[in-house]
Structure 1
Amino acid sequence: MNLSIRDVSKSFGDKQILDSLSFDVADGEFVSLIGPSGSGKSTLFSLIGGLLAPDSGDIWMNEERITNKSGTISYMPQQPSLFPWRTIMQNVLLGQELNGQKETDRAMEMLEKAGLGDVTHAYPHELSGGMKQRVAFIRALLSPQAFMCLDEPFSALDDFTRMDMQKWLLTTWEENQQSVLFITHNIEEALFLSDKIIILSSNPAHIKKEISIPFSRPRDEAIMLTPEFLDWKRYVLDIALN
């Protein structure tokens, strides 16, 4: 799925949040958005998902105008947002059920690959934070919409679990090759996961820089300790802070 943002602006009252944003996410591309808190990243997701309408500009998906149109993306928020009264299997199938589908066999296969095959009949309160995030990501993958928006899904996890989740996400994404727009405040995370990083300013947000990441795939976490990776981290940090 190809996403095109064209000259999108958004204000709330007298406060302008987004200022003429334009960028693209190509089919199968993993793109990260980074920027300071309050720079409008989550607002942009609400616009892409059709929950809000831009003041100006348009949003396109595969040549179709989706401005202020809902139901075109799958979404994974900062918190897993699992229904506590539904089992793990029932939670991952929710997006499909809302569209009159139910691929139980595929869901079971993905849960087993995620190390969750033994907890399909468990409830969310019985799972760790990392396990819940895996469930939320599988639910997004199984949703009929092929474009995924991930809003800081690992921000609440400890460093060890976060690294484990990053590696798992990368492996799972490489197997499925869906287009992803990913919000993060973590520069290392953005560099490790992404094909491209978009750096936003704040007050209001505009694009400071689009950076294509040169690291080949598949990627191993050992790359994060290389001089080249640290040089790229300094480069991105310098743009983000200046």
Structure 2
Amino acid sequence: MNHLEIAHVGKSFGETNVLHDISFSVKEGEFVALLGPSGSGKSTLFRIIGGISWPSQGTVNLNGDDITGKRGSISYTPQSSSLMPWRTILDNVLLGQEIAGKRDVERALQMIERAGLKGFEKSYPHELSGGMQQRASFIRSILSPQPLILLDEPFSALDEFTRLDMQKWLLSIWSEYKRSILFVTHNIEEAIFLADRIIVLSARPATVKKEFIIPFPRPREEGILLTDAFLQWKKRIYQEMREQ
């Protein structure tokens, strides 16, 4: 049972209080979006969950084990694709497995083909577009042995149409492998389209302001973005974020 529990996490930098008493959970196979205004501390919280930073208060638990400040328990993908420029695409997507002491080349090649990157296995990151780099980065996360994937605004640098294509691709891969995902964004449409549940953070110091369970059935097609029901959800969440 892959279950993430964030319990009363706070973070301060000197006199600046960034996060205050944040608690929420992510269940096995669940896609949760963390939504908040720019500068609300979303990335700081992600670094704490990923073990890159220590909280000032609170704990991070995975499957009942305290992983606060421990790296390697969770697959963390920052805003940039974070591919190593000196490694080929194949070697980049295998990195997480290598760190864990194994290397399943056959499965990696299957995933590369599934991502539409067949023929680029021996290419280097600079030879790929931004969207292709993000696909490779996500394949690396899927192939890594950690049960939970953190995605920190991975599509924020992409144009609108490429971003939608990447969202649809991400959903198709997630529906097949059903890894637990915590996805940070400040884009309301993106959060509604992707997530089972949305956690809204307040402005700094960030607290959990509201949780929404998204009712749209899966699989989700892009046509849902133009429906009245989707627009009503967007208005509802927008109003919640505006009331700071």
Please state which band the TM-score falls in when normalised by the shorter chain.
over 0.9
Structure 1 segment 24-63 matched on structure 2, within 5 A: 24-63=25-64
CA RMSD in angstroms, aligned pairs only = 0.8
Q: Which residue of 2 aligns with 1:229?
A: 230
Q: Deviations over 1:193-223 (max 9, x none)?
A: 0000010012200011000000011111111
Q: Which residue of 2 aligns with 1:73?
A: 74
The answer as to 2:117 corresponding to 1:116 is yes
Q: Which residue of 2 aligns with 1:85?
A: 86
Aligned residue for 1:149, secondary structure, equals strand
Aligned equivalents of 1:71, 1:124: Cα separation in 2: 24
Structure 1 segment 1-242 matched on structure 2, within 5 A: 1-242=2-243
1:128: Cα distance to partner? 1.0
Q: Deviations over 1:89-112 (max 9, x none)?
A: 001001111121101011011111
Q: Deviations over 1:147-186 (max 9, x none)?
A: 0000000000011100100000000011010101101111
Aligned residue for 2:182, secondary structure, equals strand
How many residues of Structure 1 are paired with residues of Structure 2 in the alignment?
242
Aligned equivalents of 1:184, 1:18: Cα separation in 2: 17
Aligned residue for 1:84, secondary structure, equals coil
Aligned residue for 1:117, secondary structure, equals coil
After the TM superposition, which parts of structure 1 deviate over 4 Å for at least 4 consecutive aligned residues? none
Relative to the length of structure 2, the TM-score reads 0.97
Aligned amino acid, residue 88 of structure 2: T
Aligned amino acid, residue 46 of structure 1: R
- The alignment-based identity, stated in percent, is 57
Aligned equivalents of 1:130, 1:192: Cα separation in 2: 18
Aligned equivalents of 1:123, 1:86: Cα separation in 2: 6
Aligned residue for 2:72, secondary structure, equals coil
Any gaps of 5 or more consecutive residues in structure 2?
Answer: none
Any gaps of 5 or more consecutive residues in structure 1?
Answer: none
Aligned amino acid, residue 99 of structure 1: A
Aligned equivalents of 1:138, 1:204: Cα separation in 2: 34
Aligned equivalents of 1:208, 1:3: Cα separation in 2: 19
Aligned equivalents of 2:16, 2:141: Cα separation in 1: 32
